[in-house]
Amino acid sequence: MVHTSNSLEETERLTEIFVEFIKQNPAFNVYGFSGDLGSGKTAFTKSLAKILGISDYVTSPTFVIQKKYLIPAPDFPFKTLVHIDSYRLESGRELEALHFKETLEDSDNLILIEWPEKVEDVVKTMLPIPSQNFPVLTFTFVDDYTRTIEFPAIMEA
């Protein structure tokens, strides 16, 4: 389903829906955030961090590729938010330098991957069976004030 956000407050309400889905479905620990530059992927991640009580300043990890934040929320199924920006990666194999397999295997990690299409082949091969896929949220820039966020079908069921 496609949701429209006309403000950061509306984005935060959509993020709350996402958080509730995660709480009810902790078997999913990897999510893709797909969309062009400026479509709201990092704003959504910042909103998620705020809801989870993360006090660190959350920025796009475009140049460092990966950032980790401790999640203080006691009722949340994950302890660490791992934010990966694949924009500058040439292939999914570059995730190996970040010890992605170990990150993925740590059940305390919630992993958000911006530009998942750049690394999807490698991520899917590392996911445990039967979870060959991971949910991808699609972000679209509409205008200076409006974004759309399409939740994957699995979140709408």
Tokens of 79: 């302890």
- The CATH number of 2-143 is 3.40.50.300
Residue ranges covered by each domain of the chain:
2-143
Q: What is the mean pLDDT of the chain?
A: 90
> Residue 64: what pLDDT?
84
pLDDT at 131 over 70: no
Which tens digit of pLDDT belongs to each residue from 91-105?
Answer: 888 888 888 989 989
Position 152: which residue type?
Answer: P
Q: How far apart are CA 141 and CA 145, in angstroms?
A: 9
Write the CA distances from 58 to 22, 30, 42, 49, integer angstroms.
20, 18, 8, 7
Which tens digit of pLDDT belongs to each residue from 34-68?
Answer: 999 999 999 999 999 999 999 999 988 877 899 99
Of 46, 33, 26, 52, the C-alpha closest to 115 is 33
Q: In this structure, are residues 19 and 110 in contact, taking their beta carbons and an 8 Å threshold?
A: no
> Residue 34: what pLDDT?
96
